[in-house]
Amino acid sequence: MLLHPNRFFDPHPDIRQLARALYEEIKDTPILSPHGHVEASWFADNQPFADPTELLLLPDHYLLRLLYSQGVSLESLGVQPKDDAPYQQDRKQAWIQFAKHYYLFDGTPSGAWFDYELSTLFGIEERLSEDNAEALYDQINEALQTPAFRPRALFDSFNVEVLSTTNGATDPLIHHQTLQDSEWNGRILPCLRPDDVLNLHHPQWKQNVETLSSLSGIDIHDYTTFLQALEERRDFFRKQGAVSTDHGVESVMTAQLSQQEVSALFTRALKGEANEEDNHRFSGHMLIEMARMSVEDGMTMQIHPGSFRNHNKDVYRRFGPDKGSDIPLPMDYTRGLHALLNAFGNDHRFKLVLFTLDESTYSRELAPLAGHYPALHVGPAWWFHDSYQGMKRFRQMIWETASIYNTVGFIDDTRALLSIPARHDLARRMDCDFLARLVCTHIIDEQQARRMLTALTYDLTKKVYQL
């Protein structure tokens, strides 16, 4: 048996029994996935996935980063270098290389997710290894050619109610339009992530601003017209179903610049003269501007801060972004968000979901802030902490001060389509275990546990993201 039915439940018999009973009540609840990175084109085109390597390995930077850390070259896994250097183009051989090192994921969330996918989706009950790699590749590949493994069929079989993609401000959303015009009733929403035009040091920033100007129909020649173009794009995204924005910033330091200051700064940027300090100040100012726009149009605002993107410059140069070399940074939310929260944190129309990679801020900053400001909600344990132990630490350090009702339930934030049900299953088991422990220590009773579990599994996400 690849998956034990009591996995992630406490070994104490009373806690395990109650956790299992709670899990049975909510395990089939529809999945809400309001933030993620799967491709809308998969559902628009609805074509078979090419092979197991393309579907299960190459999009998953969790897998790539750990393999790379153990000396497994990305080329040998089938990742194509940008410099046209040789790489493994035989997808089965790349899979075998992955399988040879699959033991590295023993006890990790990636291993738990991958085992779940093999067992529940493909009926495989043996752990992936070098010995069975070729046979399992053929078994999975054969399944991928069947109608049940087309993207839309998978979406339906996963019981996904809503799934959100992540799209730059310069994305024309043609695949979302195709989905809207189709007869399929799966709900795939875009999420506006305007980092491509808000980060002055983006390699294509000037080009992106020109594209934004073209798409919005607004001639961007100064800061005022830039804001108008952003507001138009927000309106366009909303018409395509978007309910949220997302901001992947390095810092959460916010400050309201004067009109004169920000106009001069933006003019310098258009001339290619903006420096690092300009970018830092502009980012802090634009977070407040985006909060203002969220108050006006009702879109939930998400901030995913504190990642030193592409820390390994050689990997970035040779393979591009999202290859597992992003590293967390320490954050100061209390001072950093002071300006933004004093501007809009008391406005009940505003919904701000804040994530972190800095666990030291859970009880010191995030829980007290969310336990006070009506607009603020703490996002779940994210990225490196999206794991059983990471979720436990998050619950333990957040719930007493902020209560679960100032959080947003679970968000999978994945690029790997097949991992969506695996991640939600792990999160649901963890919440059942956590609440069962509170019941068995007589902090809450079973009625309270069931109410809290329903909120964590479904209600909080639906409410905060206005789904």
- All structural domains of the chain with their residue ranges: 13-46+150-464, 48-149
Q: Above 90 in pLDDT, residue 261?
A: yes
Nearest to 435 by CA among 390, 395, 398: 395
Q: Please tell me the predicted confidence (pLDDT) of residue 1.
A: 82
Q: Please tell me the predicted confidence (pLDDT) of residue 305.
A: 97
Dihedral pair phi/psi, residue 164, rounded to 5°: -110, 135
Q: Above 90 in pLDDT, residue 127?
A: yes
Contacts of residue 456, Cβ cutoff 8 Å, sequence gap at least 6: 404, 407, 409, 410, 431
Beta strand spans in 24-130 (E) = 31-33
- Does the model's pTM come out above 0.75? yes
Q: For 222-256, what is each residue's pLDDT tens digit?
A: 999 999 999 999 999 999 999 999 999 999 999 99
Q: For 317-336, what is each residue's pLDDT tens digit?
A: 999 988 989 999 999 999 99
Chain position carrying tokens 């940008």: 82
Q: Please tell me the predicted confidence (pLDDT) of residue 84.
A: 85
Q: Please tell me the predicted confidence (pLDDT) of residue 322.
A: 87
Radius of gyration of the chain (CA): 23
Contacts of residue 248, Cβ cutoff 8 Å, sequence gap at least 6: 193, 195, 304, 305, 307, 309
Cα–Cα distance for residue pair 65/72, rounded to 1 Å: 9
Determine the average pLDDT of the residues in 122-132.
97
Q: Please tell me the predicted confidence (pLDDT) of residue 229.
A: 98
Question: Which of the following CATH numbers is that of domain 13-46+150-464: 3.40.50.2020, 3.20.20.140, 1.20.120.1770, 3.40.640.10?
Answer: 3.20.20.140
Tell me which DSSP letter residue 9 carries.
S
pLDDT band at residue 264, thresholds of 50, 70 and 90? very high
The SS3 of residue 83 is: coil
Chain position carrying tokens 């090419």: 50
**Percentage of the chain lying above the pLDDT 90 cut:** 98
The two tokens of residue 363 are 């009880």
pLDDT band at residue 441, thresholds of 50, 70 and 90? very high
Q: What CATH number was assigned to the domain covering residues 48-149?
A: 1.10.2020.10
Q: Above 90 in pLDDT, residue 219?
A: yes
C-alpha torsion 227→233→237→238, nearest 10? 50
Nearest to 388 by CA among 360, 423, 417, 354: 423
Q: For 365-421, what is each residue's pLDDT tens digit?
A: 999 999 999 999 999 999 999 999 999 999 999 999 999 999 999 999 999 999 999
